[in-house]
Chain A
Amino acid sequence: MASSSSNLISLKTSDGTVFKVERALAKTMKTVQAIIEEADANIYMIPIHNVFSHHMDMIIDYYKLSVAGKSKEFSVEKLDNDELKDFLLAVHYLNMEDLFEVLTQAVADRLEKKSVGYVRKYFGIENDFTPEEYAAIRKKNDWAFKGDDIEPEEDEEKQEE
Chain B
Amino acid sequence: MNMAVAGEADAITIIADKSQITTVNATTDSDDDKVSSISQMDSDDDKVSGNNKYIHDDLSFYILSKLPIKSLKRFGCVRKSWSILFENPNFMTMFRKHFIISSNNDDDADDSGHTFLLIHHPEMDLYRAQLHLLPRDQSFKNTLKLNLPPPFHDDDVNINILCSTSVNGIFCLNQYYRGGDANKVRFVLWNPATNEFVVLPPSPDESEPRPPDLSSYHSFHGFGYDKVRDDIKVFQYVTLDYYDYNNCPPITFDPMFVIYSLRTNSWRIIDIDMPYWLCSNAYQGFEVYSDGMCHWVAKHHTGEKCLLSFDLSEEVFFITPMDENSDFSHSTRYHLVVLNGSIALISNHVSADTIFQISILGELRVRESWIKLFIIGPIPSFDWRPIGVGKEGYIFFRKKDDELAWVDLSTQIVEEIGVKGEEMNCNIGTYKESLLPIEGLNN
**Which residues of A approach B to under 8 Å, CB–CB?**
1-3, 8, 10, 14-22, 25, 35, 38-39, 41, 43-47, 49-50, 53, 60, 64, 85, 89, 92-93, 104-105, 107-108, 111-113, 116, 119-129, 133-134, 137-138, 140-141, 143-145, 147, 150
Contact = CB atoms under 8 A, between A and B. Distances in A.
B75 A116 contact: yes
A111 B77 contact: no
A18 B10 contact: yes
B63 A22 contact: no
B54 A2 contact: no
Contacts of B76: 137, 141
Interface centre among A105, A113, A123 (most CB of B within 10 A): A123
B80 interface: yes
Contacts of A1: 12
B74 interface: yes
A11 B64 CA distance: 31
B15 A8 contact: yes
Given A17-B25, A123-B55, A128-B80, A144 B13 contact: no
Contact of A20 (B5, B14, B34): B14
Given A19-B15, A22-B15, A47-B38, A126 B79 contact: yes
B71 A122 contact: no
Given A2-B12, A18-B11, A60-B18, 6 more contacts: A2-B5, A8-B15, A10-B12, A44-B2, A116-B74, A137-B77
What is the size category of the interface that chain B forms with chain A? 35 or more
Contacts of A138: 77
B65 to A, nearest CB: 8
Contacts of A137: 76-77, 83
A108 B46 contact: no
B6 to A, nearest CB: 10
24 contacts: A14-B35, A16-B10, A18-B12, A19-B13, A19-B23, A20-B15, A21-B15, A22-B15, A44-B2, A47-B38, A50-B43, A50-B46, A60-B18, A89-B46, A104-B63, A119-B75, A120-B78, A124-B52, A124-B54, A125-B79, A134-B77, A137-B77, A141-B74, A144-B74
Interface string B45-70: 11101101111000110111011101
B68 A112 contact: yes
Contacts of B366: 143
A137 B85 CA distance: 13
Interface of B: 1-5, 10-16, 18, 23-27, 31-32, 34-35, 38-39, 41-43, 45-47, 49-50, 52-55, 59-60, 62-64, 66-68, 70-71, 73-80, 83, 363, 366, 368-369
A64 B18 contact: yes
Given A104-B66, A124-B52, A137-B83, A3 B15 contact: no
Contacts of A126: 79
Contact of B25 (A16, A44, A105, A134): A16
B153 to A, nearest CB: 43
Contacts of B70: 143-144, 147
B59 A143 contact: no
Contact of B368 (A38, A124, A141): A141
A126 B128 CA distance: 64
Given A108-B64, A123-B55, A43 B2 contact: yes
A22 B16 CA distance: 7
Nearest to B12: A20
Given A20-B13, A111-B67, A50 B79 contact: no
Contacts of A108: 63-64, 66-67
Nearest to B2: A41
A36 to B, nearest CB: 9
Contacts of A147: 70
